[in-house]
Amino acid sequence: MAKLLMWFLGVFFVLTKLVDSYEFEEFFYNKTEGAFLESVYGASAAAPPPLMIGLTIIHGAAARGAVCLDGTLPGYHIHRGYGSGANSWLIQLEGGGWCNSVRSCVYRKKTRRGSSNYMEKQIPFVGILSNRAEENPDFYNWNRVKVRYCDGASFTGDSEDKAAGLQYRGKRIYQAAMEELMSKGMRYAKQALLSGCSAGGLASIMHCDDFSNLLPHTKVKCLSDAGLFMDANDVSGGHAIRDFFGGVVKTQSLQNTLPRTCTNHLDATSCFFPQNLIGNIRTPLFLLNTAYDSWQLQESLAPHTADPHGLWHDCTLNNERCSPSQIQFLQGFRIHMLNTVKRFAASRQNGLFINSCFAHCQSERQDTWFSDNSPTINNKVCLRASLLFVMLKFYICTSV
């Protein structure tokens, strides 16, 4: 009996370690998406249901070899613009973590993050994608598109692993999606915004100039929401996020596809960090981020590998439970972020809004994008309006 108990405990220990590993590699199930769905459906029992948009498969992607990790065709969701927004386009690149090893990429093949077979047939358009003027007054009648994410490397890879049956074709997926949208009228756009959240926010930085080059006669801007992943030490003094990104770069051979303006003088892993990319982007770029990004706290600064005894567990779930020393560490992270973007912020063509919310992804959620309790300054809604500073009307805040 004692031997059986010891065997059970050993198996439990191994499984626990595997789960901890996958929490880092496959971050999107229980954290980001759970909160997102709660904000969409659980905000108010009286709230009208959100606009649901069907999935469109990019059949022309096959000729390009633009496929998901498992070889299935990629897709997107589109809601057509009208009226004053008929010739304006908003493209949102979906986020959803990364895979940093063959094992974790194989795992993603059986999820919507690696195969269109598992993608939802319909998704809600809320936040910056909402079709309601009262929820999204500036973009509600634009052509609004969400490009699905199924490559595991922020739409940057272009290689394969035949032995594992993996296609790392994120760059081709991006190109195939843009080609299809151009054929559906985006080529005639008067203004266009490339956006994205989290891994999609990083992708919007990576592809910002590509997007602008695609539309040479269009007013083009880019928005990165929660995409400012910092190359920072974790709570143990280690480099959890750098090690993780290093695995992403190595697995998908991204040294061949990352921006040459960066890889010409820095190693490839450094060039997966946006802080080393934003200074070379020619297209006007807006950074929307929180200085206390909840994903970076949970998965970059205090992952289980850096906090094996769980001393940061309560703090990562609720910043009100952080000790004074933990708050001091987070303040140091905030200062590091602000110092990193100083030069970027000095450019008159760029913009940024870095607040102190304990959140991750603010433009996709209605409760943080535009609602009664959206972030405000002097009774003015500044999250949405600060974006307008760089995108549309060049002012900081509008009256509530």
Tokens of 9: 């405990």
Residue whose token pair is 């900081």: 396
- The b/e string for 32-51 (b: 16+ C-beta within 10 A; e otherwise) is beebbeebbeeeeeeeeebb
Residue 245 CA to residue 199 CA, distance in Å, equals 12
Element at 7 (helix H, strand E): helix 2-25
What is residue 353's three-state secondary structure? strand
Amino acid at 334: R
Instruction: State how far the alpha carbon of 207 is from the alpha carbons of 92, 199, 314, 351, in Å.
Output: 12, 12, 37, 17
Q: Going by C-beta distance under 8 Å and a sequence separation of 6 or more, which residues neighbour residue 313?
A: 307
Give 91's strand partners: 145, 194
Within a 10 A sphere around the Cβ of 315, how many other Cβ atoms? 22
Structure tokens at 200: 């999609």
Catalytic residues: 198, 293, 360
What SS3 string covers 96-150?
A: CCCCCCHHHHHHHCCCCCCCHHHCCCEEEECHHHCCCCCCCCCCCCCEEEEECCC
Helix residue ranges, H only, the chain: 2-25, 32-41, 61-64, 102-108, 170-183, 199-206, 208-214, 240-251, 260-263, 294-295, 313-317, 324-340, 342-345, 366-369, 382-391
